[in-house]
Amino acid sequence: MPFSEPAEIALVRSLREDSIAAFDALYNMYFPGVYANILSLVKDEAAAQDIVQEVFIRLWEKRKALHDDQPAGNWLFVVSYNRSVNHLRAVLRKRLQIESLENTVTEDDEWQITSIQLDMLEKAIEKLPPQRKKVFLLCKMQGKTYAEAASELKISHYTVKEHIVKATRFIREYVSLQPEWQALIVTLPLFTGMIGR
């Protein structure tokens, strides 16, 4: 059962103060959705399990850098997407036996990129109409199926699908108009994939 936003923000604040109980609560809340999102990208259960563990280890390592007024779900979504894309690139390079330096990103660079992405994504989500925002968060952040979201919100499966299509289109357009987007085109050209799937 997801926490309310104020309750989750309180957990993030506790996490920043090294609370293992807060970490465990966030892990239990988000693990299923984050794992489902990763698996939908990498199509490999073993790799998805490794990546989801890396994501939550990263959450603990970077707890002091989190904004204590923001839910953790958005951060986990962005980081898990980036880790999944990195995995897919590594698999592709291995298959093609190509050594590529173009995507060499340091840990600090990765954190800066993640912060920019997260900021853009959160601003775009906040501009969605209330019901569309709920649908997007349920399906894309919590990993719920359209049917589950429809049942929870007492709307039709078709309405959920329409909300997702319109939310995705709006977020993609919003992001493409941001000045920070130009830097991300070079460093992470697949960013729109995470909001477009």
| Residue that terminates a domain, selected from 84, 104, 124 | 104
Residues 9 and 92 in one domain: yes
Residues 84 and 130 in one domain: no
Q: What integer pLDDT is reported at residue 101 of this predicted model?
A: 45
Q: pLDDT (tens digit, 9 = 90+) per residue, 48-72? A: 999 999 999 999 999 988 887 777 8
Q: What integer pLDDT is reported at residue 99 of this predicted model?
A: 47
Cβ atoms of residues 171 and 197 within 8 Å: no
**What's the total number of domains in the chain?**
2
Residues 60 and 121 in one domain: no
| Residue that terminates a domain, selected from 88, 104, 120 | 104
Residues 89 and 52 in one domain: yes
CATH code, domain carrying 74:
1.10.1740.10
| Residue that terminates a domain, selected from 104, 124, 153 | 104
Cβ atoms of residues 143 and 36 within 8 Å: yes
**Which among 70, 116, 109 has a CA at the least distance from the CA of 86?**
109
What confidence tier does 179 reach under pLDDT thresholds 50, 70, 90?
A: low
Residues 9 and 61 in one domain: yes
Q: Which residue has the tokens 């897919």?
A: 88
Lowest mean pLDDT, pick from 111-115, 129-133, 149-153: 111-115
Query: Which are the contacts of 132, defined by CB distance < 8 A and separation ≥ 6?
Result: 163, 166, 167
Question: Could you tell me how many helices (H) and strands (E) the chain has, helices first?
Answer: 10, 0
Residues 88 and 150 in one domain: no
Residues 4 and 67 in one domain: yes
Residues 153 and 93 in one domain: no
Residues 128 and 175 in one domain: yes
- pTM for this predicted structure: 0.58
Residues 11 and 93 in one domain: yes
**Which among 42, 17, 12 has a CA at the least distance from the CA of 27?**
12
Residues 80 and 60 in one domain: yes
**Domain span including residue 169:** 111-197
Residues 92 and 120 in one domain: no
Helical segments of 1-156, H only: 5-16, 20-42, 45-61, 72-96, 107-126, 130-136, 146-153
* Higher pLDDT pick, 189 / 60: 60
CATH code, domain carrying 187:
1.10.10.10
**Which among 187, 189, 131 has a CA at the least distance from the CA of 162?**
131
Say which DSSP state 65 is in: G
